[in-house]
Amino acid sequence: MAWLKDIVAPAGAAIAKAETDKAAAPKSWNINPHNLGYANNSLEEVGSSIHPGTVGLDYLTLQSVSRIPVIGAIIQTRLQQLSEFCVPQQNPYSSGFRIRLRDGEQKATKAVKTRARELEKIIIEAGGKYGIGSFEMTVRALMRDSLVYDQCNFEILRTKGGNVYGYIPVDASTIRRAKPSTKKRSEYNKGHFYLGQEDKLAYTQVVSDKIVNKYAYDDMAWGIRRPRTWIEVNGYGYPELEELVRVITDL
């Protein structure tokens, strides 16, 4: 995601990107243009609440299953374990997170260290007054969505000048990948749909069967842990709860 450009890039990254931009795009299909869920290009016609990464389960069903005592206990255990990494790491042997250069052999300059502290502050403060609390609370909210839906989303907050100053978690059950724009319709009909920095409409927020927000590629983070090449799922995740649906139903 383009907002990650705030992290110091390794030497030669610009050259590599220039070479990539000139390269031919892949010709393999990554979506099914005959899929009924994507057949109509009108953004006003919102599909069902079924999770596109499952074989018919909707987001509410996945949420309900996650509240079964045994399943809920497992999810809570994982959240407790993750919370230990929501503080700056005090030394190389303690739990926590640390901001460093991508190139581990490159020596950090004074300017780089200053920028690292600024980024650390942004991470810790999360959304500030617009968020739900501390970095730990934000991670707990995001990872609960991830463990239930294999999808987590947070909106990127920017200053008027366009600089990133925070982020807020968003209910993943309301976020969908947007249908291809008219400009990309020809590529879509050929089975190609690639999100990139130039996309002004990449994600939508759907509440009560209505699109209430639209997001550019740079303004919404889309996170999945279990990606697949299956063309029918259109880039959505693979929830563990869907994989274990027969076992959970027995419970």
Least Cα distance to 86 among 32, 54, 124 occurs for 124
Structure-model confidence comparison of residues 196 and 141, the more confident one: 141
Question: What is the full DSSP assignment across 127-177?
Answer: TGGGSSSSHHHHHHHHHHHHHHHS-EEEEEEE-TTS-EEEEEEE-GGGEEE
Distance CA 44, CA 20 (A): 35
Give residue-wise pLDDT tens across range 32-45.
Answer: 777 645 444 333 34
Type of residue numbered 184: K
Q: What's this model's pTM, rounded to 2 decimal places?
A: 0.82
CB 234 within 8 A of CB 206: no
Least Cα distance to 43 among 220, 202, 223, 222 occurs for 202
Q: What is the pLDDT at residue 198?
A: 72
Classify residue 18 by burial, with Cβ atoms within 10 Å: 0-12, 13-18, 19+. Answer: exposed
Give residue-wise pLDDT tens across range 56-110.
Answer: 899 999 999 999 998 999 999 999 999 999 999 988 889 999 888 888 788 888 9
Question: What is the full DSSP assignment across 4-54?
Answer: GGGSPPPTTHHHHHHHHHHSPPP-S--S-TT-HHHH---TTS---SB-TTS
CB 226 within 8 A of CB 150: yes
